Amino acid sequence: MRWNQSLKGMGIAACAAAVLGLASGAEAKTVQVSLTAKEVPTVIDNKGTTQLSWTFNGTVPGPVVRVTEGDTVEFTLTNEKSNKNSHSIDFHAARVNVLDEFAPIKPGETKKFSFPATKPGVFYYHCGASNMAQHIARGMFGVIIVDPKKFSKDYPKPDREYVLIQSELYSNVDDVDLIMSGKWSNVVFNGTVLKYDPVHDPNATKTLVAKPGELVRVFFVNAGPHEFSAFHPIAGIWERAYPSGNPANVMWGMQTLVVGPGDAATLDLISPVPGGNAIVTHSLKAALTGAIAVIVFSDEADESMGRGDNILVR
Ligand SMILES: [Cu+2]
């Protein structure tokens, strides 16, 4: 029930559902997911600088939504009355009608739809309201993880898990032409410049952590809106990489995985030695503006990190 606890922690309640007689014997659930579009300031660097973001639930990225393959997601989107803009949601884990389920709603409106989570993996969600690049650049994105029904030899149970979402910051988020030009000022992980990199930013207070030998699973989304990611762990090698996070897509011993805007991947990392790796996009014009996340490998690694609600480190 670890997933349910994780969802509850983010205000998302999993409820009982019919047993669908799955081959694995797993019980398919109906999972209630509610997200609220909020236009609020959020912090974009380790000094506390803010921008007027557009968000899901007031944070960038939005909450981690986590279900199991075969579950049905019953989704509610609310556009807060005090907002000035229409907003929508686009779940890459869903197969629906773009003109219906994914259509925007006005401030003060609510919409509901449901979809079955049929493909296991790691999927992007984002606002698709016009101008979509602007809504993403202002922070309306997150991840939905669809866990497979069971682990396997090629997709073993990890010791720790982390979520990293790459996105771009712009110097003026009201300037649609600037955002459409792709002239970002920073490329970042989880909404903040060098959030997990005290090596390059003395104001950074966090790193990712694990013990040497542990299997660390990284759920990676490239929110864009424009830049490709060359996702690489400096001083490490991805043990396995799974494009779209589907266990069937296993690739071995990868140094770098290219993940385009709107795409996602799951990547496994094991360090045989104590020390650190620096997870980056190896497109260095991007990494050196903010897309570096240090993971420290030590026998003293905090047991609470990379587990439960701490897979997206706020
Ligand atoms: Cu929006």
Question: Which residue is listed with tokens 């030009």?
Answer: 181
Calculate how far, in angstroms, residue 183's C-alpha sits from the geometric centre of ligand 1. Answer: 20
Distance 60 CA to ligand 1 centre (A): 12
pLDDT tens-digit series, residues 85-115? 999 999 999 999 999 999 999 999 999 999 9
Q: Give the pLDDT confidence score for residue 27 in this predicted structure.
A: 81
Q: Please give the mean pLDDT across all residues of the chain.
A: 93
Q: What single-letter DSSP state applies at residue 87?
A: B
The pLDDT tens digits of the residues spanning 272-309 come to 999 999 999 999 999 999 999 999 999 999 999 999 99
Q: Rounded to the nearest whole angstrom, what is the distance from the C-alpha of residue 86 to the centroid of ligand 1?
A: 6
CATH tag, 2-147: 2.60.40.420
Gap from CA of 57 to ligand 1 centroid (Å):
12
User: Residues with beta carbon < 5 A to ion ligand 1?
Assistant: 87, 127, 129, 135, 140
Contact 248, 148 (CB under 8 A): no
Report the alpha-carbon distance of residue 76 to residue 117 in Å, rounded: 16
Q: What are the structural domain ranges in the chain?
A: 2-147, 160-311
Instruction: Report whether pLDDT(8) > 80.
Output: no
Residue 21: partners with Cβ closer than 8 Å, 6 or more residues away: none
CA of 137 to the centre of ligand 1 (A): 10
Smallest CA-to-CA distance from 226 within 192, 161, 182, 175 is with 182
CA atoms of 82 and 144, how far apart (whole Å): 27
- CA torsion 19-21-22-24 (nearest 10°) is 100
pTM as predicted = 0.92
What is the tens place of the pLDDT at every residue in 124-180? 999 999 999 999 999 999 999 999 999 999 999 999 999 999 999 999 999 999 999
pLDDT tens-digit profile of 250-264?
999 999 999 999 999
- The type of residue at 167 is S
Q: What's the CA-to-centroid distance between 39 and ligand 1, angstroms?
A: 9
CA 186 to CA 276: how far, in whole Å?
Answer: 24
Tell which CATH classification among 2.60.40.3140, 1.10.10.10, 2.160.20.10, 2.60.40.420 matches the domain 160-311: 2.60.40.420
pLDDT of residue 166: 99
2-147 and 160-311 share one fold: yes
Q: Which residues, at least 6 apart from 250, have a Cβ–Cβ distance to it below 8 Å?
A: 154, 155, 240, 241, 242
Separation of CA 177 and ligand 1 centre (Å) = 17
Alpha carbon of 308 to ligand 1 centroid (Å): 28
